[in-house]
Chains A and B, each alone.
Chain A
Amino acid sequence: MFRAEPLLKIRLLMLATEAPDAALELARFGLFNPAEHAHSGYDQAFDESPAEAYREAWLQAESRLSKVVEQCGGLGELVIPADAAAPSLADLLELNDWLKEVWTTCLGEHEAEMRTQDDQRHLEALEETLEKLERLNVDIAQLLRQDGLLAVNIGSLPVISLKRVTDALSITGFLVSTFDQHNEQVYAVIAGPREREAEVRGVLSQAGWRELPVPLELRTHPQAARAWLIEERKRVEERAGVQCKVMDNLRGQYRPRMDEARLRVALARPLAEAALVGVRGKGGLAGVAGWIPRRRVDALRALLEERFHGRYLLDVAVPEAHEAAKVPSLVRYPGWLQPFVPLVKSYGVPRYGEFDPTLPFAFTYLLLFGAMFGDIGHGAVILVLAAALYRRLGRMAWIGIAAGAVSMLFGLFYGSIFGYEDVIEPVWMSPLHNPIHVLTVAVSFGVGFIILTLLVNVRNKFTAGHVSEALFDSTGIAGLVFYLGAVGSVVSLANASESAAKLANPAAVLAVLGIVTVAIFKWVETRAGWGERALVTAIETLETGINLFANTLSFMRVAAFSLNHVALALAVFTLANGLSTAGHWFTIALGNVVIIVLEGGIVAIQALRLMYYEGFSRFFSGDGREFVPLRLELERNKV
């Protein structure tokens, strides 16, 4: 729970023809994280990428499948049989071709549907336009004569192109006259000398010009156009009906094989995904590399043996020191700790071998929240609300429930219920009446917290093999010695007792020893000229002292917020006491809501901030790799 599981690097060699099945078995195994091949040993000889074509075919098939499903919809739940085998490359290519055919057909029908919808919209616009055309006091038949000196076009174009088209056509002596507008389309008559008609075609095409199909009837008998329009509309609607039927037929025709296609695409996914990281091979052999937990090696061997009967080679190795940054972190958390994992991961993933802070984070976060927001009533409201919203919040609701419970516990310690300080006796103390004590406790907690983070960092550095940093850096043993000395000095100065005075000198010596060690380390580590080196050493050494001092004082906010909580409640009571009975209770209720929402939110963020910046930043690099196992996409549906 405090660190990632020990992992081993495996290299699995098999016949290239069995690579899809091997990847499928690894996905079913559920604890194999694919990794790049090493650039040494026999890996070097495996210079081919036998799964590239497979991945390419799978990507295309997957893309086509999802487009078909998106377009046609209506497919049921995918069930993956436990003994189903992965498709071979030839199968996948055949499937891909079939999906291409299906998608091309669907796409064609879809395009036809869109064109029909476009035509329907166009006819609607035409109907309205017709009224205006009828009112154009011109002989349209004469206007549209093909043998006239004047070339006339009636149609529409996007309104944003109108000015540009008008300007461009003016070069060729053409005029543009608009007579209607629908949404972003403007309807216009374009007229000009027929001998230059060819010159304007390019412009009109580029501008998205759409010719109005003025029917012959309209040219000779404008009133007959209405009948033509009705006919045309009927025709388009019939076409839409036919297209719907065609789509329904297609769905019915393709449906049985679509389910099979989905299954095969799902079964092919593992090798395609593994190929992304790198499946290497030579001749008829293929190899995959990756990480698995040490505890599961035997189980994997058994699984492979059962499936491939010795037609494989499994090479297992302990990760070498230079590979440490590439090893993913697999940490197993108990169920009750799971809700806190996303909060830690939002800062970063612990490196392999690094201390995993989730457990101390969970306890400390709740402790800080409770200490800053200690109130039985407010805690109970948070608890009940989180429980009520469980379905919506999922596992995260447990954080609210736990925070509410801890808040109630601290409410009991502080003797506070909905801001009332005199209803129950505090089990420990009331922050309002003991502010100095509360501040001292908060800072003391901070000192303990910072010492803990420094110790964890020392452990992490040792584990990573950075011994000099663990010993001499500002966040290593030297920094810790300085911090302990500095804290001892401050405590002895603040305490008048004789025993404390005796502590002053040794503490100061410890502090000086620590900071001098840190300074020497910075000097040695800095690669620069003398001047820059001196400057960097001075600044970084000074920063060590300032940071630790500031981080410690930062914990005063824990006390400040516990006082703030009482102060806010007092403000609410003062306001309420000046009002009548109804106003009094209304103000109390509203004030408590404000306290819960506003202060509760701020305290939740402050507790998180303390954890991230005063804690994690000292020991947690957060740049680890998450263990991402190869999986069948819809494994939950496996039967």
Chain B
Amino acid sequence: MSAYLNTRVSLFSGRLWQNGDFDALIGSPDADIADTLSDRGLPQLAAGYNNQDPLSLEQRIIAEILDETRVLIRPLTGDARNFLIYWTERFEISNVKTLLRGKMTGEKPAALLARLTPMGAFSRLDVQDLVHAEDVTELLRRLEAGPYAGIVRQARRAFEDSHDPFILDAALDRGYYEGLARRAQPLENAVGAAFRRLMGSLIDCINLVWLLRYRFNYNLPPAQVYFLLVASHYGLSSSRLRQLAALGSLDEILIALPDGLRREMNGVTEIHEVFARMDRMAADVAGKVLHSGAGAIARAFAFLILRERDLRSVRAVLRGRHLGLPMGDIKQALQRMPEGAL
């Protein structure tokens, strides 16, 4: 089965975009965009582009990712299969957040339904039932009786105390990524360093970005910032994160980073630059794992990380074009795409 998956990943890796492809997309005349997308293996996005519907574009991107994930999951069993299925569930967690926000603002069920990402075969939530919950409290109770009970339970307790949507989102995100790290553990032991490097780059990126946002954009106290991060045993370990959270400025945090990471952040003065550098680092790690002789599941995961990054960039280009932004601005935006923006 791993031979099949390796072959499938190698074939899929041909779909990844090179810098030149983005330049071509940015520079293409409007009439050629749909063809360019089709030629690059994104016929669903080509159709979405003609519709001029940014929401539909988002859903089409996720549908593309889910389609490819489904193909990669086919030969997998056990921990590897569970891990990749869980990897797709972040889109459903995103649906949960949409539902919660919709209920907070009293959005109509039909409008709310239209905003949810169709999960197809990966769907675990009965969204038809959930959109008809009367309010956030009822929705949370219903979610707590469903497949995301573990993640939602803690979020509900936190929300009942504070009634702060930010707290709810943060608790859901943290719950999700802690689940991901837990599911990755047996694979790190079985597959080895390559998988661990991938997870490390992903979780480190998320933790550092969240730490900076919570600390300096939302001005949360250090203890709360640390509590909201994902428990980690990677480059930025939990004890290191505790030290970082207690520091008072971006410069102090960057100086206190481990050597390798500190070198990468050389010259960074803004939080969004940290996003971009971490994103690029994670992509480099994924690229190396994809083109190495690592285990099939590690290569498959690396491909999915890179593919999603590509599609995020394609989305940025298409949105930029819709908004009539200058080519230079779109190119600049491509270098600053934060991880986990989907």
Contact = CB atoms under 8 A, between A and B. Distances in A.
Contact of B134 (A56, A103, A174, A198): A103
A202 B220 contact: yes
14 contacts: A59-B109, A63-B132, A107-B137, A161-B154, A167-B242, A172-B221, A172-B223, A174-B223, A199-B222, A199-B223, A206-B158, A206-B162, A206-B171, A206-B228
Interface string A142-176: 00000000000000001001001101111110100
A634 to B, nearest CB: 20
Nearest to B111: A56
Contact of B158 (A59, A63, A171, A208): A208
Given A104-B134, A206-B167, A208-B154, A56 B223 contact: no
Contacts of B158: 205-208
Contact of B162 (A165, A168, A205): A205
A60 B109 contact: yes
Contacts of A174: 223
B246 interface: yes
Contacts of B110: 52, 56, 59
B223 A63 contact: no
B238 A167 contact: yes
A206 B224 contact: yes
A202 B129 contact: no
B200 to A, nearest CB: 20
Given A100-B134, A206-B171, 7 more contacts: A59-B132, A111-B137, A171-B222, A199-B224, A200-B223, A202-B221, A202-B223
B211 to A, nearest CB: 12
A67 to B, nearest CB: 8
Given A107-B138, A164-B227, A202-B221, A171 B154 contact: no
Interface string B119-150: 00000000001001010011000000000000
A203 interface: yes
A165 to B, nearest CB: 7
A504 to B, nearest CB: 46
Interface residues of A, number: 31
Interface of A: 52, 56, 59-60, 63-64, 100, 103-104, 107, 111, 158, 161, 164-165, 167-172, 174, 198-200, 202-203, 205-208
Interface of B: 108-110, 129, 132, 134, 137-138, 154, 157-158, 161-162, 167, 170-171, 220-224, 226-228, 231, 238, 242, 245-246
A168 B226 contact: yes
A171 B161 contact: no
Contacts of B109: 56, 59-60
Contacts of B162: 205-206
Listed residue (B129, B158, B221) with the most chain A CB atoms within 10 angstroms of its CB: B221
A208 B224 contact: no
Listed residue (A59, A167, A168) with the most chain B CB atoms within 10 angstroms of its CB: A168
A205 B167 contact: yes
A104 B223 CA distance: 38
Nearest to A111: B137
B102 to A, nearest CB: 14
A174 B223 CA distance: 10
Listed residue (A56, A64, A111, A167) with the most chain B CB atoms within 10 angstroms of its CB: A167
B220 to A, nearest CB: 7
9 cross-chain pairs, A with B, having the tightest CB-CB distances, nearest first? A63-B132, A208-B157, A202-B224, A199-B221, A168-B227, A205-B161, A168-B223, A206-B158, A203-B227
Contacts of B154: 158, 161, 207-208
A203 B223 contact: yes
Contacts of B157: 158, 208
Given A164-B231, A203-B223, A206-B158, A107 B134 contact: yes
A146 to B, nearest CB: 21
Nearest to B137: A111
A60 B107 CA distance: 13
A168 B211 CA distance: 13
A202 B154 CA distance: 14
B224 A168 contact: yes
B224 A203 contact: yes
A60 B132 contact: yes
B198 to A, nearest CB: 24
A172 B167 contact: no
A169 B223 contact: yes
Contacts of A59: 109-110, 132
Contacts of A200: 223
A301 B157 CA distance: 60
Nearest to B224: A202
Contacts of B223: 168-169, 171-172, 174, 199-200, 202-203
Nearest to B132: A63
B239 to A, nearest CB: 8
Contacts of A63: 129, 132
A171 B244 CA distance: 10
Nearest to A202: B224
Contacts of A103: 134
A300 to B, nearest CB: 31
A546 B117 CA distance: 45
Contacts of B108: 56
